[in-house]
Amino acid sequence: MAIQILRILVPLDFSRHADPILEWALHLAQEHRSKIVLLHVYHLPVEFQQLEGAYLPADFWTNVKQEAGQQLERHAEQARARGIEVEAVVREGYPATVIVDEIENLNIDLVVIGTHGRTGLKHLLLGSIAERVVQHAPCPVLTVKPVPED
C-alpha cells in the first residue's frame, strides 16, 4: 500500500521554530511530490478584547494580514527554490479551529505543525494548538518539537 500525500498543510506562527517545521515539510513534499500550503492564523486574544477603551487603528487588521502574507511569502520562496509547488494562506480566527477547517476546505493529506514544548503549568494555562489539531484533524499530523536551545 503506497501512501499518497498530495497536499501538506504547514501552519506557521513565525516563531524561531518555524525553520525546522518547514524543513520537515519540504523534505516530505520532495519525497512525495506534494504541494505545500503554508498557513498563518492571527487573532486578537480574548484578554485584549475585554479591555475597556482598547483602541485599534482602522487599518490594524489589514496591516497584520499584509505582514503575515509577506512573511509567508519569504518561507514560500524556500519551497519554490526546491521546485515544490506552494500556496500561502492567511486567516483570522482561533488557530486550532481555523487549522482544522482549512484541512477540510483544502483537502489536506498531512499536517506538519510545531509544538512549543511547554509542560506543566505553562501547558495547562496556555494550552497547545498542536494538541488540539492532533485531536480534531481528519488526517495524519506530524508534530515537530522545538530545537533545544544551547
| In a domain? residue 77 | yes
Residue-wise pLDDT for 76-120, tens only, equals 999 999 999 999 999 999 999 999 999 999 999 999 999 875 555
| DSSP-assigned letters across all residues of 21-56 | HHHHHHHHHHHHTPEEEEEEEE---HHHHTSTT---
Count of domains for the chain = 1
In a domain, 51, yes or no: yes
Q: Range of 108's domain? A: 7-144
- Grid look-up 521546485 returns 83
Asked if residue 134 is part of any domain, the answer here is: yes
Residue 149 lies in a domain: no
What pLDDT, in 10s, does the model give residues 38-56?
A: 999 988 665 555 555 566 6
Say how far apart CA 71 and CA 20 lie, in whole Å: 16
The pLDDT, as a whole number, for residue 56 is 66
CATH code for position 14: 3.40.50.620
* DSSP element (H, E) containing 105: helix 95-105
Q: What's the CA dihedral at 111, 112, 113, 118 to 10 degrees?
A: 120
Q: Check if the beta carbon of residue 8 is closer than 8 Å to that of residue 111.
A: yes
Query: pLDDT at position 3, please?
Result: 83
Lowest-pLDDT range, 18-22, 77-81, 95-99, 146-150? Answer: 146-150
What's the pLDDT tens digit per position in 62-75?
888 899 999 999 99
Gyration radius of the chain over CA positions = 16
